[in-house]
A and B are shown apart, each in its own frame.
Chain A
Amino acid sequence: MNGAQIIQRIAAGLGLEEGSFESDPEAKDPWIRLPGDKLAAAAEFLKGDGELEFDTLHCVSGVDWPGDDPPAIEVVYHLTSLTKKHWIVLKTRVARAGASLPTLETVWKAANWHEREVYDLFGIRFEGHSDLRRILLPSDWPGHPLLRDWEWPETWHKIPVKAGRQMTDRAESGQMTGVGPFD
C-alpha cells in the first residue's frame, strides 16, 4: 500500500471525518497527525488491521516547537510493516506544559525504551508506562535538554558542561565549515 491508501484506511478505520485530521500523503515520508486521545486506538488499529499490519515501531522522536501557536511538542512515531513492506509516520502534538500521552508499550513493546528516552529528553509523561525512569541522563540532571529553551548549566558537580558557539557563529555568518582534516 502507498502512503495515501494507508492514510485513507486509517481514517476509515478510526471513523475520522475528512478535514478533522492533518496528513500529507505526498511528503517524502507520508504522515498523518492525530490528536493525543485517538493515539492508543490508532495504534491498536494499525497493528491489528489485516491490511496494514504495522508489526514494528521503528522509532519515537520528539520535536519541540515553542514558537508555534499554541506552543507544542510533537511526538513522531515511525512505523514499519515487515510483512507488508510499507511505512507510515504517525504524529501527535501535546501542550508543552505538563505534557502527557498514553503509552504505546502495550501495543509495541519497543515503545518502552523509546518513550523513556522521550521522557528523559523532553519531559513528556507517558501514562501507564511500566518503568518511566530517566534512561540516558543522570537522575539529578537539571531539566530536559532537548527542549529548545533549556538553559545549559555552566557546570554539573563542578564538571564543565557548557558547549561553545563558535561552530554556530561560523555557520550563521555564512562561512563554509569544512568537516575534513584538510578543509
Chain B
Amino acid sequence: MDKPGSTGFDGAPAVTLYDEELPPDNSYAFSPEDLEEDEMILNMGPQHPSTHGVLRVELKTDGEIVKDSRPHIGYLHRNFEKHAENIDYQGVIPFTDRMDYVGSMGNSLAYALTVEKLLGIGVGERVAGIRVITAELQRIASHLLAMGTYGMDIGAFTPFLLCFQQRERVLDLFEWLCGARLLYNYNWVGGVSHDLPEGWTDKCRRFLDEFVPVLDEVDKLLSHNKIFIRRTADIGIITPEMAKDYALSGPNLRGSGIDWDLRRDDPYLGYENYDFNVIVADSPHGPVGSCWDRYFVRVREMYESVKIVRQALDRLPAEGDVQENVPRFVRPLAGEAYCRSEAPRGELAFYIVAENKKPIPYRVKGRSPCFVAMGLFHEITRGEMIADIIAIIGSLDIVLGEIDR
C-alpha cells in the first residue's frame, strides 16, 4: 500500500534512452596525431548558444587563430524525405514547415509551388497577392531575427530587443491569419488555408507604418556603429567567385556583390509586376563579401519587403475564394518538377518525382540554402580568430532545422 501522501509514482523512468553501448566516436575530422606543435582541437557546440541551434564545429586552433575547421551537422536530422515516401502530397506541407522553423511561410510556399508546377495548375490573383504578402512579412520577421541575434552575438543587446518586439508583431499578424505563430501550414497546394480576416489589411498597414521608423532606429544604432564595423567588416570574406562556386544564394550571394534575385530573374507569383530593388552589397567598409556586407544586405532588404507588401496590399482583389483551385485529390501524371523560390535565407527548392496518378510522391528532395552555405564554412574561417567564428556563423544566417531536414 502507498504511504499517506504518496503519489504512487515509484520514480522509475518509462523509457531508457541510452544503454552502455554508445556509438563509436569517429565523428572527428581531425586526428590528434596529425597536429603540429602548439595546435589543438577545440570542439564548439552543439550546445553553444552562439551557433544558432545544434551546430557543432570542430576547430583546429593555434592559440586564438583557427587553422582549420569542420562543421558537423545532423543533430536535428529527421529525414522528412523518407517520411514523404509514405504521406500524400498535401501531408508533406507540415514537414516542410519544420525545415526552416523561423521562415515557415517560405518553405510551404516553395513546396506548394513545386506541386502546382507538377500538376500544371495556377492560383488566382488574390491567392498570389496573399502569398506575396505573407512571404514578404515572413522575410521581414526572419531578417529581424537574423539582425537582432547577430547584434547579440557581437555583444549589442538593445537591437535584439527592438527587433524581437517588431518580429512579435508579424507573428501576431500570422497568428490572427491562421492560428499558428511559427509553423503555419498556410500555403496549400492550389491555395491558402484561410482568407485574410476582416481588418487584417488595416492592421498590416499600421504595422508597416510603425515598423519603418523602428528599423531606421535599429539601423542607426547597430549598422554604422564603429565597434560593430570593426568586428564584422573585414572578416569572413566570400569572394564573388567563391560564392558562385559554392552555389550560395539569397542575401549571402548578394552580400558578395552578385546581382541575382529569383524574384526578379525567374519571377513567380507575379513578382515581375512589383516595383522593388535587388539589394547588392556595395561594401563601404572593407572588401566585398564580408560579414558586414551580408548583414547589411538583410537590413536593406527589409525596406524592399515593406515596399512590396504595400504594393501587394494596394492591388489585392477584394473578392475571391482562396481555396478555389485547391484540388480535392492530388494525383499528378508521371513526371518530375524542380521549383526554386527566394526564401528568406536564399533559394529554397524542392525536387519532386511523381509516379503516374499515385496519391503519394515517389521522391521529395529539399534543397536547403543553409545547407549549401555551411558547405563553405571551412574556407572562410581559415585564419580567423575564434571570436570571429561567432560573427561568421551569425552572418551566414543559418537555421539548423533546414540544414538537417
Interface, chain A (partner B; CB < 8 A): 27-29, 55-59, 61, 63-64, 76, 78, 80, 82, 85, 89, 108-110, 112-113, 117, 121, 131, 133-140, 145-146, 148, 157-159, 163, 165, 167-168, 170-172, 174, 176-181
Contact pick for A177, options B17, B79, B88, CB 8 Å = B88
A138 with B351: in contact, given A113-B371, A171-B360 (CB under 8 Å)?
no
Interface pair A59/B351, CB less than 8 Å apart: yes
CA distance A66 to B226 in the complex (A): 60
Interface pair B74/A135, CB less than 8 Å apart: yes
Interface pair B360/A172, CB less than 8 Å apart: yes
Interface pair B335/A28, CB less than 8 Å apart: yes
CA distance A165 to B84 in the complex (A): 12
Interface pair A89/B338, CB less than 8 Å apart: yes
Interface pair B90/A179, CB less than 8 Å apart: yes
Interface pair A146/B335, CB less than 8 Å apart: no
Interface pair B82/A145, CB less than 8 Å apart: yes
CA distance A135 to B90 in the complex (A): 29
Interface pair B349/A59, CB less than 8 Å apart: yes
Residue on A nearest B74 in the bound complex, by CB:
A136
Interface pair A58/B340, CB less than 8 Å apart: yes
The B9-46 residues at the A interface (CB cut-off 8 A) are 15-19, 21-24, 26-27, 29
Interface pair A29/B328, CB less than 8 Å apart: no
Interface pair B79/A140, CB less than 8 Å apart: no
CB distance from B372 to the nearest CB of A (A): 6
Interface pair B16/A110, CB less than 8 Å apart: no
Contact of B292 with A by CB under 8 A = no
Contact pick for A29, options B18, B22, B83, B336, CB 8 Å = B336
Residue on B nearest A173 in the bound complex, by CB:
B359
Interface pair B26/A109, CB less than 8 Å apart: no
Residues of A within 8 A of B376 (CB): 109
CB distance from A129 to the nearest CB of B (A): 13
CA distance A106 to B327 in the complex (A): 44
A171 with B88: in contact, given A59-B365, A82-B244 (CB under 8 Å)?
yes
Contact of B93 with A by CB under 8 A = yes
- Report 28 cross-chain contacts, Cβ distance below 8 Å, ordered by A residue: A28-B117, A28-B336, A55-B244, A55-B245, A59-B349, A59-B365, A64-B363, A89-B338, A110-B375, A113-B374, A121-B79, A136-B405, A137-B77, A140-B23, A146-B82, A157-B19, A157-B21, A163-B82, A163-B83, A168-B86, A168-B360, A171-B91, A172-B360, A176-B329, A177-B88, A177-B90, A177-B91, A179-B93
Interface pair A137/B375, CB less than 8 Å apart: no
